[in-house]
Amino acid sequence: MIKDITLGQYFPGDSFLHRLDPRMKIVLSMLFIVMIFLASSLVSLLAVTVLTFLLPFVGKIPMKTVFGAIKPLRWVVLIMMVLFLFTGGGEGYHILWEFHWQFINLVISVEGILKAIAVSVRIVILVVSVSVILSYTTSPIALADGIESLLSPLKRLRVPVHDFAMMITIAMRFIPILIEETDKIMSAQTARGADFHSGSLVKRAKALIPVFIPLFVSSVRHADNLATAMECRLYRGGNNRTRMRSLCYATRDLLALFAMGLLLVGIILLTAEVTYGYLGFRYV
Amino acid sequence: MTNKTFEKTEYILCAEHLVYEYGIGTPFRKKALDDVSFGVKKGRITGIIGHTGSGKSTLVQMMNGLLKPQSGKVYFQGEDIHKDKATLPALRYKVGLVFQYPEYQLFEESVRRDIAYGPSNMGLSEEAVARRVEEAAEFVGLDKSLLDKSPFDLSGGQKRRVAIAGVIAMRPEVLILDEPASGLDPIGRKNIFEGLLRYRDSTGAAVVIVSHSMEDMAMYAEDIVVLSHDRLILSGTRDEVFSHADELIAHSLDVPDIARLAARLRRAGLPLAANLYTVEETAKAIAALLKGGTV
Question: What Rg, from alpha-carbon coordinates, does chain B have?
Answer: 20
Residue A150 lies in a domain: no
What average pLDDT does chain B have? Answer: 88
Give pLDDT, residue B283. Answer: 87
Q: Which residues of B touch A11 (CB under 8 A)?
A: 27
Return phi, psi of residue A206, to 5°.
Answer: -65, -35
State mean pLDDT over A33-43: 88
What's the confidence (pLDDT) of residue B199?
95
Angle between helix A161-191 and helix A209-232 axes, rounded to 10 deg: 140
A82-103: burial string, b at 16+ Cβ within 10 Å, e else: eebbbbbeeeebeeeeeeeeee
B64 has a chain A CB within 8 A of its CB: yes
> Which parts of B102-142 are beta strand (E)?
none
Q: Are residues A165 and A84 in the same domain?
A: no
Q: Are B104 and A218 within 8 A, CB to CB?
A: yes
- Alpha-carbon Rg for chain A, nearest whole angstrom, is 25
Residue A166 has pLDDT above 70, yes or no: yes
Kindly state whether A262 is in contact with chain B, defined as any CB-CB distance less than 8 angstroms. no
Count how many Cα atoms sit within 13 Å of the Cα of residue A137 in the half-sphere of its side chain.
31
pTM (2 d.p.): 0.73
Residue B279 identity (one-letter amino acid): V
Angle at B238 between CA B233 and CA B242, to 5 degrees: 60
Q: Which residues of A touch B107 (CB under 8 A)?
A: 209-210, 213-214, 217
What is the number of CB-based contacts under 8 A between chain A and chain B?
A: 59
Burial B164-191 (b: 16+ CB within 10 A, else e): bbbbbbbbbbbbbbbbbbbebeeebbeb
- A28, A126: one domain: yes
Residue A280 lies in a domain: yes
Pair A11, A137: CB distance under 8 Å = yes
- Considering the domain architecture, whether residues A226 and A260 belong to the same structural domain is answered as no
A266 interface with B at CB cutoff 8 Å: no
Q: Which of A133-137, A163-167, A221-225, A272-276 is the least confident region?
A: A272-276
B206 vs B38: CA distance, rounded Å = 14
* Cβ <8 Å between B105 and A214: yes
Residue A91 scores a pLDDT above 80: no
Please name the amino acid found at residue B76.
Answer: F
DSSP line for B10-51: G-SEEEEEEEEEESTTSTT-EEEEEEEEEEE-TT-EEEEE--
Please name the residue of chain A whose CA is at the shortest distance from the CA of residue B121.
Answer: A193
Q: What is the mean pLDDT of residues A79-92?
A: 80
Confidence of residue A195 (pLDDT cuts 50, 70, 90): confident
Question: What does DSSP assign to residue B149?
Answer: S
Interface test with B, best of A15, A63, A192, A203 (most B CBs within 10 A): A192
Give B120→chain A minimum CA distance, Å: 9
Residue B289 per-residue DSSP state: H
Contacts of B104 in chain A (CB under 8 A): 181, 185, 214, 217-218
Contact B107/A at CB under 8 A: yes
Domain membership of residue A284 as a residue range:
1-138+249-284
Beta carbons of B104 and A195 less than 8 Å apart: no
- Closest Cα in chain B, distance from residue A193 (Å): 6
CA distance B212 to B49: 5
Residues A114 and A203 in one domain: no
Q: How far apart are CA B172 and CA A13, in angstroms?
A: 47
Domain co-membership, A10 together with A93: yes
Per-residue pLDDT of chain B (295 residues; tens, 9 = 90+): 444 555 666 789 999 999 998 877 776 788 888 899 999 999 999 999 988 878 888 899 999 999 999 999 999 998 899 988 888 889 999 999 999 999 999 999 999 999 999 999 999 999 999 999 999 999 999 999 999 999 999 998 999 999 999 999 999 999 999 999 988 888 989 999 999 999 999 999 999 999 888 888 888 999 999 998 888 988 999 888 888 877 887 887 777 788 778 888 888 888 887 777 778 888 888 888 888 765 5
CA atoms within 13 A on the CB side of A74: 4
Shortest Cα–Cα distance, A7 to chain B (Å): 13
| A149 inside domain | no
Angle at A225 between CA A220 and CA A229, to 5 degrees: 150
With an 8 Å Cβ cutoff, are A209 and B97 in contact? no
- Give the pLDDT confidence of B4-14 residue by residue, as tens digits: 555 666 789 99
Residue A94 and residue A29 in one domain: yes
Chain B residues lying within 8 Å of A18, measured CB to CB: none
Neighbours of B238 (CB within 10 A): 21
The minimal CB distance from A209 to the residues B97, B107, B170 is found for: B107
Q: Which of B104, B159, B168, B175 to mutate to test the interface with A (most CBs of A within 10 A)?
A: B104
Predicted local distance difference test score (pLDDT) of residue A212 = 93
d(CA A272, CA B81): 68
Asked, for residue A153, whether it belongs to a domain, the answer is: no
pLDDT of residue A108: 83
Residue A102: pLDDT band (50, 70, 90) is confident
What is the predicted pLDDT for the residue at B295? 53
* Number of folded domains that form chain A: 2
Q: A110 and A174 in one domain? A: no
Q: Specify whether the CB–CB gap between A20 and A252 falls below 8 A.
A: yes
Share of chain A above pLDDT 90, in %: 32
Cβ of A191 within 8 Å of Cβ of B96? The answer is yes
By Cβ distance, the residue of B26, B66, B167 closest to A190 is B66
- Shared-domain flag, residues A89 and A205: no
CA terminus-to-terminus distance, chain A: 45
Domain co-membership, A38 together with A18: yes
Do A193 and A262 belong together in one domain? no
Q: Tell me the nearest-neighbour CA distance from B253 into chain A, angstroms.
A: 27
User: A165 and A34: one domain?
Assistant: no
| pLDDT at site B159 | 94
Answer yes or no: do A107 and A123 share one domain.
yes
A225 contacts chain B (CB < 8 A): no
Q: Which of B63, B60, B64, B68 is nearest to B21 (CA)?
A: B68
Residues 6+ apart with CB under 8 A from B86: none
Q: What is the ipTM of this complex?
A: 0.84
Measured in degrees and rounded to the nearest 5, phi and psi for residue B232 equal -90, 125
Q: Is A182 part of the contact surface with chain B (CB cutoff 8 Å)? A: no
Distances (CA, A) of A183 to A3, A19, A24, A190, A283: 7, 33, 36, 10, 50
Q: pLDDT tens digits, residue range A119-146?
A: 899 999 998 998 888 888 988 778 888 8
CA distance A195 to chain B (A): 8
User: Which chain A positions have a beta carbon within 8 Å of B99's beta carbon?
Assistant: 184, 187-188, 191
Q: Are A25 and A133 in contact (CB under 8 A)?
A: yes
Strands B174-178 and B206-211: parallel
* Strand ranges, E, within B42-139: 45-49, 71-76, 79-80, 95-98
Residue A203 lies in a domain: yes
pLDDT for the residue numbered B94 = 94
